[in-house]
Structure 1
Amino acid sequence: MEYFVHTLQKYPEIALFLTIGVGFWIGNLKLGKFNLGVVTSTLLAGLLIGQIGIKLPVALQSTFFAMFLFAVGYAVGPQFIRALRSDGLPQVIFSIIVCLAGTGTAIALGKLLGYNGALTAGLLSGGYTNSTVLGVATDLIQQSGLQQAQLQSALALLPIAYAVTYPFGTIGSAYLLANVAPKVFGFDLARECENYEREHGVGTPIGTTAYREYSARAFRLTNPMLIGKTVSDVETMFNREVFVRRMRLGDGMDVIDCKGDTVLMADSIVAVSGGLAPLLAYEEQFGPEVKDVPLLDFPTELLDLVVTNKAYAGKTLGEISDALFGEPGRGVFLTNVTRSDVLLPMRRETKIHRGDVLKILGARPDVAKIARTLGYADRPLEGSDMAFMAFGIVAGSLIGAITVHIGGVPLGLGTAVGAIVAGIICGYLRSTMRTFGHIPGPAIWVFNNVGLNGFIACVGLNAALGFVSGIQHYGITLFLAGTLVTIVPIIVGLLLGRYVFKFHPGIMLGACAGARSTTAALGSLQEVAKSNVPVIGYATGYAVSRLVMALLTIVVVNVF
């Protein structure tokens, strides 16, 4: 044990990874329906391991946090910007008011109980379950110019307040929103969400079902009406709803890739592709279906195609389809059209703009032909555009570092807020101009979770030695203050959502959870509702709260 302790003290990076590992392990364990969560577990692990005296550089802590904030902003940027410009505006205003209620409660309690800025920020972060507050407050305090002794004392109080108030912030908000609120307002959440889904067509997302809209089948050609005709003639007969892709003249013969002028031969086996409905409707007009794996074994691709060619910008979907989805794109199917990640109606009169994304499915060579004509093929990549991310963090942090003195008080966004704003802007740019800035979902998960929990581990390890005395001094009073910071904004949100904004019950509860960025509450709501409807409200609330709470943290620190 002495060797182990000495090694951790000599090589603090080992202690860092040990803390992260323990945090993820304990945080994912469940006792019934309850679990601590990775963030709280990592913080507690850091506070425990740090009792042996571990110190990590502040620059490492800030680096982890910048990664986390950029990833959060990148992920929610499209939703956030879109909500500001669309009918999501009431949800934006709602979320801001809920954030103000939580912040105001923390400030009032901090003044009443004689807390300083660090303790109040930790109270707000834990009671409101917003880890961004913890990071931004740490960043601001480190840049505040306090003397070393005062600085270390303040930085020790932040995780104390967070650790004491976070458990009820998570458990309490989940129980109040999912179990208490429906009873108080007298509605059946599951039934309300079921009715909403029926009225608005909110169903199971594509990708969780075994149904496939487009397919390819093999038929032995026996219909004399089709024998001797060209592929183009046959496809025209069937209203170009199905396409003859390949042909084998007999068992054991070579496979022929069909073109428009290819002539169909008697007793040949043909591979026909199309939507499931027309394939079923026309199958008897080709002949009996057969199993021919080599014939159907041709590469297909489902591709996101970004429209960048000016010649097609402003044209309707019908005009583009007529021009490209015959030759050179025989048998290529358009599955959906999106603009800034929003689905557009699949109608011939829908106008296509530069930056719109057409999702197309077909044989790989045919898909490639259309991609070369229309614009940029946005294929899934394992790599990330790290230059885009790094320069984004640099630009945002430089802007956030600008400080203006008003009445002798230094005011500035701080590098942390600059990083999250940069992430929001970069995420939105990526959604509208898909030719650059690609960061895959798994990479975002790593930047988000490793960034946040690496930061939390640094905070816990550095603050560990001052934690025990702090918890003895502030314990029960701090816990009760945290319950108020949890409950007051929930009550404000429920009253506003029900009687002022008049949201649908499922969306209202989801928006309350999102405005508090409480993922555990969303999970409880989905379980009780047996529906994904609460996610609709949660998405906007979560995006807004991440930015707004970062800005309000500046207010909290400056007030004290």
Structure 2
Amino acid sequence: MDWFAETLRHYPEIAIFLSLGIGYWVGGKSFKGFALGSVTATLLAAVLIGQLGITVSPQVKSVFFLMFLFAVGYGVGPQFVRGIAKDGLPQALFAAVECVLCLISAWVAAKIAGYDIGSAAGLYAGSQTISASMGLATDAINRLNLPPDQVKTMLDAMPTAYAVTYIFGTIGSAILLAQIGPWLLRIDLVAVCKEYEATHGGNTSEGQQWHQFELRAFQVPQDSPVVGKTIAQAESLEPNGYRLFVERIRRNGKIEEAKLDLVLQPGDIVAVGGQRNQLIGALGHRGTEVDDPELLAVAAEVTGVDVFVSRKEVDGKTLAELASQPAARGIYVRAIRRGPTETPIPVLANTTLQRGDTITLVGRTQDINFAATTLGSIDRPTNVADVAFIGFAITLGALLGAIVFNIVGIPLTLSTAGGALVAGIIAGWFRAIHPTFGRIPEPTVWFMNSVGLNVFIAVIGLTAGPGFVSGLRHLGISLFLWGIFATSLPLILSMFIAKYIFRFHPAILLGACAGARTTTAALGMICDAADSQVPGLGYTVTYAVGNTLLTIWGMFLVMLLK
């Protein structure tokens, strides 16, 4: 054991990886639906290992934190800019209001309880479950020009307060929003979500849940209403908004591709593509289905192809509007994902597409390729990241953040961490409108985001380890109670503000509250309670704004308490 402890002291990088291993393993375990999560588990593992007196270079923490913040900004960039500049403005303003409430509640708790700056920063980070704020708070504390021993005491207190308040910050916010919130606001989640879906096209074929795309062959009978009509006219005959398309035709034994001006004749065998239930409902009782493998040998993408939406022309257009365009012929929407958390967006006729969305299409390969050029570009799976873009963007952002402005004798700066965050936001937004460069595959973004943050947390835990137990013994129960206060107050107030001031639709109201607090666990519980993905429509813009402001508030809180 002495050899093991001495080895970790001599090679602190081993201690970091050990903390990560334990943190991800323990954090991934759940008990009755509750899991610590990798961040909290890594912190506790590092604190435990840190009892051995391990010293880690602070540069390690800084490098990984810059990488993490850039990834955060890159992920939220499109929604953040859209929320500030366009139709997401009400949600962006609401997110800013909720974030201010989060800051004020933590500040009030710290002032009344008499906590030092480090404990206050940890209380804020844990109660609002915004681990990244500890990085900016650390930078701000280091710039206070205090004696080194006082700075160390504050920095050691921060992870203690974070660990104590984080658990209720996660569980409590989910319970408040998903279970208590609907009762407080007198909202029937299931009913309002169904009403929202019906109002926004959920009762049309375009808004129905996706069914397996199929291609089936039918022979045109002598008395068919499509006889003598062009393919374009025949496709428009179906009632109930059915979207069925003639893809190929066999006439006199020869196969030819369907053309919209081709006139159908009795005896033609047509290959009709569409959703399974619609094919059966519209054509199952007419004509004769034919087994014609050669005719049906059409290259089709039935599992779905991801398309990255980047064209300005489709930004803000509804699916119903896009369905009438030529590029939509023969394709179907299987799923829409939005934002850094890839929030599922309900597929409704009035669902709007936004630049930065990923939309999954099914249909013939050639139709999907044509549609992709109208929407943006096909999001081909790749494991190659534009590292040059990442390196230059972080460098530029950090350089700008390092500039100090003296205003009325007060030094103001974003810090290198804040600069990296801003650079990520700009880079992510620019990538959404110009997807030809700056590509960072989703697994790479996840690595930068998750591992970058957890290495930063591990270094904090290893450094603070020796003073953690005494700090916990000193602050303990009162800190936990103040954490409940700081978690609950802004959420309760923001729910009423969203309903009575911003007047959000009840179906998206709670999703907006969860997004502004960046609590994905709460969104999951809300969607489960609603039996719908509609609450996710309120999550993405508010998440982008909330994730940015709540992170920056770590620095602001230190400035308020100094």
TM-score (norm 2): 0.78
Superposed counterparts of 1:280-429, under 5 Å: 288-290=289-291, 292=293, 296-297=296-297, 299-300=299-300, 302=305, 304=307, 333=331, 364=365, 377-383=377-383, 384-429=385-430
Distance 1:159 1:323, change over 3 A: closer
Letter in 2 for 1:191: A
- The residue that corresponds to 2:5 in the other structure is 5
Shift of 1:362: 6.0
Moved more, 301-310 or 443-452: 301-310
Distance 1:203 1:547, change over 3 A: farther
Checking the alignment, whether the CA contact within 8 Å between 2:511 and 2:537 is kept in structure 1 is yes
SS at match of 1:396: helix
Shift of 1:159: 0.5
Shift of 1:469: 2.0
SS at match of 1:217: strand
Residue 448 in structure 1 maps to residue 449 in structure 2:
yes
Letter in 2 for 1:77: G
CA distance in 2, matches of 1:488, 1:355: 33
**Residue deviations 1:351-387, cap 9 Å, x none?**
x999999987665567668879x79743413132222
**Residue deviations 1:528-557, cap 9 Å, x none?**
333333323332322111111233222212
CA distance in 2, matches of 1:354, 1:159: 38
Distance 1:137 1:235, change over 3 A: same
CA distance in 2, matches of 1:358, 1:174: 28
Shift of 1:467: 1.1
- The residue that corresponds to 2:241 in the other structure is none
**Residue deviations 1:215-257, cap 9 Å, x none?**
43356x797999xxxxxx985785697445487999xxxx988
- The residue that corresponds to 1:494 in the other structure is 495
Superposed counterparts of 1:235-246, under 5 Å: 238=234, 242-243=245-246, 245=248
- The residue that corresponds to 2:50 in the other structure is 50
**Residue deviations 1:285-314, cap 9 Å, x none?**
98642163x76455445473878899x99x
Shift of 1:448: 1.8
Shift of 1:89: 2.3
Checking the alignment, whether the CA contact within 8 Å between 1:242 and 1:275 is kept in structure 2 is no
Superposed counterparts of 1:106-185, under 5 Å: 106-144=106-144, 146-185=146-185
Checking the alignment, whether the CA contact within 8 Å between 2:64 and 2:455 is kept in structure 1 is yes
- The residue that corresponds to 1:438 in the other structure is 439
CA distance in 2, matches of 1:207, 1:508: 21
Distance 1:137 1:237, change over 3 A: closer
Checking the alignment, whether the CA contact within 8 Å between 2:164 and 2:480 is kept in structure 1 is yes
Shift of 1:156: 0.9
- The residue that corresponds to 2:105 in the other structure is 105
CA distance in 1, matches of 2:540, 2:460: 28
Distance 1:28 1:278, change over 3 A: closer
- The residue that corresponds to 1:469 in the other structure is 470
Checking the alignment, whether the CA contact within 8 Å between 2:246 and 2:270 is kept in structure 1 is no
Q: What is the percent sequence identity of the aligned residues?
A: 40
CA distance in 2, matches of 1:449, 1:415: 19
Residue 198 in structure 1 maps to residue 201 in structure 2:
no
Distance 1:248 1:43, change over 3 A: farther
Checking the alignment, whether the CA contact within 8 Å between 2:273 and 2:330 is kept in structure 1 is no
CA distance in 2, matches of 1:187, 1:308: 37
Letter in 1 for 2:532: S
Checking the alignment, whether the CA contact within 8 Å between 1:244 and 1:258 is kept in structure 2 is yes
CA distance in 1, matches of 2:438, 2:255: 41
Checking the alignment, whether the CA contact within 8 Å between 1:129 and 1:518 is kept in structure 2 is yes
Letter in 2 for 1:439: I
SS at match of 2:118: helix
Shift of 1:125: 0.8
CA distance in 1, matches of 2:99, 2:354: 37
Shift of 1:170: 1.9
Moved more, 11-20 or 103-112: 103-112
**Residue deviations 1:415-447, cap 9 Å, x none?**
222222222222222222222222233332222
Checking the alignment, whether the CA contact within 8 Å between 1:246 and 1:256 is kept in structure 2 is yes
Shift of 1:44: 0.9
Shift of 1:344: 12
SS at match of 1:491: helix
Distance 1:46 1:249, change over 3 A: farther
Letter in 1 for 2:216: R
SS at match of 2:439: coil
Moved more, 195-204 or 458-467: 195-204
Shift of 1:24: 1.8
SS at match of 1:73: helix
CA distance in 1, matches of 2:205, 2:473: 49
SS at match of 2:216: strand
Distance 1:345 1:496, change over 3 A: closer
Distance 1:114 1:406, change over 3 A: farther
Letter in 1 for 2:307: D
Distance 1:257 1:306, change over 3 A: farther
CA distance in 2, matches of 1:446, 1:192: 37
- The residue that corresponds to 2:240 in the other structure is none
Distance 1:245 1:183, change over 3 A: closer
Superposed counterparts of 1:458-537, under 5 Å: 458-537=459-538
- The residue that corresponds to 2:215 in the other structure is 216
Shift of 1:162: 0.6
CA distance in 2, matches of 1:480, 1:356: 40
Checking the alignment, whether the CA contact within 8 Å between 1:72 and 1:420 is kept in structure 2 is yes
- The residue that corresponds to 1:18 in the other structure is 18
Distance 1:88 1:469, change over 3 A: same
Letter in 1 for 2:193: C
SS at match of 1:32: coil
Letter in 1 for 2:38: V
- The residue that corresponds to 1:189 in the other structure is 189
SS at match of 1:131: coil
CA distance in 1, matches of 2:349, 2:487: 44
Shift of 1:271: 5.7
CA distance in 2, matches of 1:452, 1:493: 28
- The residue that corresponds to 1:230 in the other structure is none
TM-score (norm 1): 0.78
The higher radius of gyration belongs to 1
Shift of 1:345: 11
Letter in 2 for 1:16: I
**Residue deviations 1:90-121, cap 9 Å, x none?**
22222222221221222233333433322211
Moved more, 155-164 or 105-114: 105-114
Distance 1:343 1:555, change over 3 A: same
